[in-house]
Chains A and B, each alone.
Chain A
């Protein structure tokens, strides 16, 4: 136990107790097409929420039926989740990240924040997974109310467009896990990808664009560009961002 702590301390800042990024360096991209060998829950029922949100699922109580409502797909270093956690303290949210070192960083970051801010950040967690492949293994039909795709890998080559996390066929799965009225938030600093994501969402029968006035009223929208590490980088470089926010609508039959 002691030994573990000393290892953990080595990678964490002495003053804030937060993990230091330089010990969690990872390549910027990961191939979503390669076969993965990390554990995946066989079905959403097998996903152990109590492990991720111990405060929400006290061991001696059986009323822990609350479900995850927000998913940040490709959460990176977890900037958005940390902001959302304070904004929506009673909603459970999860980050999904394919790069294991980055996932490890977010996990340590959340644990450290929980220690330094008792009672806070209990509603946020992270999981290492390929969300393009395993979304239905984590969430039931209509479980989510918000999904985030912030600064995804642009995959410029046409040959690699099928690796993009927003694509016409993957939107079917996102529509499945989002409940009617749920919102999908996307943002990028790559114009070409912004146009692509907008076109995919526009062409999908189960999504409609959220109006400008609603966007202004939504406190989450501002976070898209300000809360994430990627977004701050773009702001530093005074770059442009392209946003697409869409609502899940019922199928017309």
Chain B
């Protein structure tokens, strides 16, 4: 339920900037897509596990989604001449899988040639997206290997030169990496955690690196926004398309509140970066029944484009609420309320810092703990004699 709320709020956010909308049933039984005035609903009951990521092919004909088993399914959504009943009966077909891993992100390459999947086992897989995807996607183009922790996000770097097929990825290892995804070769690594000055403050407590949670590239591919857990603000990376390198452009902080973006997005035509900080199931310190355990805060960064010169336009800044397009009605819709209490905010900020890591890292159990877990296993439970 909480997740649905998050998805919805993100999707509503997208609705301001993109033509298509997606919403997911609380138990992931259906996915609905709306394009213009059309609403299409698809049965997802084939998937037993939670959906972790989804994307629509660039030609709009196929919807792909990944579940927590690491299996990617495809649904044919192309033919909507008979949209009343037929789409619901369309089966999702498994087309590829990351063996027993969690797929964290799923994207189609801009030219539609490849489907790219990232997982928690440090891998990015680039698979040829076939003309008849219902028969499976068997041909692996490359693996982009080099991350030393879960891969959390992917973004394609669009450029005019079609020989340059660039992809950036963010990871729990606190780096953003630039890849030539057709060959799988690593072109550059940017240690964004260190660049944002986050490592020093953390060193004292723990050796946990702040994970990169989301990435967003400008339409020309020259600028990449990076959201990092524990960074109250956003980091901008410059991507040099000719030397194929990444460099720090700017760290933009948000004044007045501990705003740590958890998801970011932009349209291809408006130079605004939309950012949401959200967390579900936050523990309530004062057991206040009025305040729900959901928090969503939307902020917008202006000047998210690149004008060719070396300096980013001076207008790159986080907008005040009253400057956000559609202002209060939009924020009310997306956030649920206009004002978020300071206490709730800092609790959320604290939760957000570790949430992704807790979801994706491999858990190390002590020998003792392992024994306890073994005893609790279902197959053993049945064997305990009744007394």
Contact = CB atoms under 8 A, between A and B. Distances in A.
B363 A35 contact: yes
Contacts of B138: 171-172, 175, 204-206, 251
Interface stretch (B29-37, B91-99, B157-165, B290-298): B91-99
A175 B139 contact: yes
A28 interface: no
10 contacts: A32-B99, A37-B364, A42-B147, A43-B146, A133-B100, A134-B121, A137-B145, A169-B71, A170-B99, A175-B139
B325 to A, nearest CB: 43
Given A37-B364, A137-B145, A251 B139 contact: yes
Interface of B: 69, 71, 94, 96-97, 99-101, 121-123, 125, 127-128, 135-140, 142-143, 145-148, 184, 186, 362-364
Given A168-B136, A173-B140, A251-B128, A133 B99 contact: yes
Scoring A32, A33, A169, A175 by chain B CB atoms within 10 A of each residue's CB, the highest score goes to: A169
A42 B121 CA distance: 10
Given A141-B142, A169-B96, A169-B99, A136 B123 contact: yes
Interface of A: 32-33, 35, 37, 42-44, 132-134, 136-137, 141, 162, 168-173, 175-176, 204-206, 251
Contact of A175 (B94, B140, B146, B364): B140
A173 B140 CA distance: 7
A97 to B, nearest CB: 17
Contact of A42 (B69, B128, B135, B148): B148
Contact of B100 (A43, A132, A168, A171): A132
Given A168-B136, A251-B128, A42 B100 contact: no
Which DSSP category, helix, strand, loop or mixed, fits chain A's interface?
A: helix
Given A43-B146, A133-B121, A169-B94, A32 B139 contact: no
Contacts of A37: 362, 364
A42 B139 contact: no
B139 A169 contact: no
Contacts of A136: 123, 125, 143, 145
Contacts of A35: 362-363
A107 B250 CA distance: 51
Which DSSP category, helix, strand, loop or mixed, fits chain B's interface?
A: loop
A246 to B, nearest CB: 14
Contacts of B186: 43
A153 to B, nearest CB: 15
A228 B363 CA distance: 36
A168 B99 CA distance: 11
A44 B138 CA distance: 21
Contacts of A173: 99, 140
Contacts of B142: 141
Contacts of B140: 141, 172-173, 175-176
Contacts of A206: 138-139
A136 B144 CA distance: 10
Nearest to B183: A141
Nearest to A177: B140
Contacts of B121: 133-134
Given A43-B146, A133-B101, 4 more contacts: A32-B100, A42-B122, A175-B138, A251-B139
Contacts of A134: 121
A172 B139 CA distance: 6
Contacts of B69: 162
Nearest to A170: B99
A137 B144 CA distance: 10
A42 B138 CA distance: 23
The 3 closest A-B pairs by CB, nearest first: A43-B145, A169-B97, A176-B140
Given A133-B99, A133-B100, A42 B146 contact: yes
Nearest to B70: A169
Contacts of A205: 135-136, 138
Contacts of B143: 136, 176
B288 to A, nearest CB: 38
B145 A42 contact: yes
A141 B140 CA distance: 9
Contacts of B97: 169-170
Contacts of B146: 42-43
A92 to B, nearest CB: 21
